[in-house]
A = this chain, B = another copy of it.
Amino acid sequence: MAITEYFIRYLQRRDSLSEADLQRLRALKTEQASYGPGDVIVPFDRTESRSCMMLRGLSARSHKLVGRPDDRVITALHVPGDFVDLHGFVLAGLEHAVIAVGSAEVEFIGHDQLTEITENFPHLTRLLWMATLIDAAVHRQWLVAAASLRSSAHLAHLLCEIYTRLNVVGAAANGQFSLPLLQRELADILGYSPIHVNRAVRDLRDRGLLRWSGADVTILDWRGLATLARFDATYLDLERRNR
């Protein structure tokens, strides 16, 4: 069972891979698994011995709140090609759970293989490190968005980012993509109430920026959406360079 080609595209968009790096990646032993909407992919647990990568669909990092079992906060979304909980390999474990958004497929990679890569493949190690740092840059951008954008613009920013990330790995084009997020889940991501998310969605529709029915989103006016969101993709680090 070979590692997803999405991840290789993700890396090749940012650096070139040597033949040895490519072979090492393709030789990874993985286990595949499928999940339905809301299923827990990686439980909140600090003893996991493998990390997972998205193959198909979306996943989210879901934080429980102490003393409020009904509420949760989603701090990240992951698209195909993302190495979702790579950080669980270096840290003592996860401080949150990873759940499926819509139906999803993932591949698990044992931490022993990652340790081996850090011992023998320094360049590949830096690229894995890079992947976790891009996640961190996304976190920072979400903080910037949360602090500086009102609801519609904040939602618009999320949509610009997700579309761009899907587009990078070839999972979306022509402004169209599938976003199987409930408005309740969007609320957990943006930090608003579900009702307010609804108003933001309607606002973007009323402005003629997009069409959105069920899970199908079509961006009608990219320029307008990106301007409203003050979106600038620099933080996704899409330059190709030696690392």
Contacts and interface: CB of A to CB of B under 8 A. Distances in A.
Interface in A60-103: 61, 63, 65-68, 71, 73, 75-76, 87, 90-92, 95-96
Interface stretch (A27-35, A125-133, A161-169): A125-133
A37 to B, nearest CB: 22
Interface stretch (A2-10, A177-185, A216-224, A233-241): A233-241
B75 A140 contact: yes
A22 interface: no
Indicate how many identical chains form the complex.
Answer: 2
A239 B140 contact: no
Q: Is the interface of A mostly helix, strand, loop or mixed?
A: helix
Given A118-B126, A119-B122, A134 B91 contact: yes
Contacts of A142: 143
Contacts of A76: 140
Contacts of A135: 136
Interface residues on A, range: 35 or more
A232 interface: yes
Contact of A125 (B125, B130, B144): B125
A232 B143 contact: no
A133 B87 contact: yes
A144 B63 CA distance: 7
A148 B133 CA distance: 25
Given A92-B237, A129-B132, A134-B91, A71 B146 contact: no
A140 B61 contact: yes
Interface string A25-59: 00000000000000000000000000000000000
A47 to B, nearest CB: 11
A71 B232 CA distance: 16
Q: 5 nearest interchain CB pairs? A: A147-B191, A139-B139, A136-B136, A75-B140, A87-B133
16 contacts: A61-B140, A63-B144, A67-B230, A75-B143, A87-B137, A90-B133, A91-B134, A92-B237, A95-B140, A122-B122, A132-B136, A136-B139, A139-B140, A146-B146, A146-B191, A147-B191
